[in-house]
Amino acid sequence: MKHFLDLGDWPSDSIQHLIHNAARLKAEWKNGGNPPLLRGQTLAMVFQKPSLRTRVSFEIAMQHLGGNAIMLGPDEIGLGKRESIADVTRVLAGYTQAIMARVFDHDHVTEMARWSRVPVINGLSDSHHPCQAIADLLTIYEHFGQLRGLRIVFVGDGNNVAASLGQAAAHTGAHFTLAAPAGYTMSEEILEQIATLAEPQGGTVEVYHDPLEAVRNADVIYTDTWVSMGQEADTARRIQDLTPYQVNATLLASAPAHAMIMHCLPAHRGQEITDELADGERSIIFQQAENRLHAQKAILVQLMVD
């Protein structure tokens, strides 16, 4: 059984295939529609946290492929509270052909995968956001026409989105740089894993504490919230520590003239990114958000059809 929990579990050729298939499915959709590859199939969507993009893009992806999706919000099933994860998973797997779950603890999606006889997709955990990273790399590929050798620089908190982006970059031969203060970089374990994935593809991974230095050769500058869902109690300290890492005009002036701006959204404008950059001509954040739809289709097809 194939699950989609952590890009570190997947071989590089499969990740490259996913990105190319997402591009192909996007072109197919724009040229009149996708064939109903998932006709009669249902995706269960379990959310312990709020969502706009992940929820809507998965639901519409299933519709476009001839299937349907059922939304189960945080108050509906009480994953691990009203009922154990093992029991919820086995019940859902009896009704549906795949389960997508957004959770706090990454162990909760691995626990679901352990009990599920249908594919489990991680729709964001505290450690990883693999579906986001496929859309991100699709967007970068569309803009630059290649991934190999590009320099992707994530500025801010070395969080779930950064970890998956670094893994996806490594799988595709792009160079990944994290610019974060001490205490906000990724674990040594994930950095070593990214380096191991990158090496055969010709990519590299680097960590900087100086954001201006980090973006000096950037093709892409990427940021995300400083306060991820579940970290709200630590908001004041995180804002104080991460303020020097704001993606703003000063940072952009340090980067090459062609560098593009990305953000997974939701954006906290005035914190990790200024309005000027989020809405400026170098921003590709709404193309990136749209590409969640096309990436979800490729992920669903890979798990449910291929």
Q: Return residues touching ligand NVA (CB under 6 A).
A: 124, 159-161, 224-225, 228-229, 264
Question: Which contacts qualify for 88-91: CB closer than 8 Å, 24 or more apart?
Answer: 88/46, 88/112, 89/115, 89/116, 89/120, 90/115, 90/116
Q: Which helix (H) or strand (E) holds 221?
A: strand 220-223
Catalytic residue among 53, 64, 238, 292: 292
Maximum Cα–Cα distance across the chain = 54
Binding region for ligand CP (CB under 6 A):
51-54, 124, 132, 264-266
Q: With CB cut-offs between 5 and 8 Å by kind, which of ligand NVA, ligand CP, none does residue 159 bind?
A: ligand NVA
Q: With CB cut-offs between 5 and 8 Å by kind, which of ligand NVA, ligand CP, none does residue 160 bind?
A: ligand NVA
129 is catalytic: yes
Inter-CA distances, 73 with 48, 103, 108, 255, 287, Å = 7, 11, 16, 41, 27
Identify which of residues 198 and 264 has a Cβ nearer to ligand NVA in the complex.
264
Catalytic residue among 129, 171, 175, 294: 129
Report how far residue 97's alpha carbon sits from residue 153's, in angstroms, rounded to the nearest whole number: 37
Among residues 145, 111, 125, the alpha carbon closest in space to that of 260 is found at 145
Report how far residue 40's alpha carbon sits from residue 238's, in angstroms, rounded to the nearest whole number: 46
Quote the least distance from Cβ 55 to ligand NVA, whole Å.
11
Quote the least distance from Cβ 227 to ligand CP, whole Å.
13
Quote the least distance from Cβ 164 to ligand CP, whole Å.
11
Identify which of residues 191 and 264 has a Cβ nearer to ligand CP in the complex.
264
Catalytic residue among 126, 157, 219, 224: 224
Q: Catalytic residues, which ones?
A: 102, 129, 132, 224, 264, 292
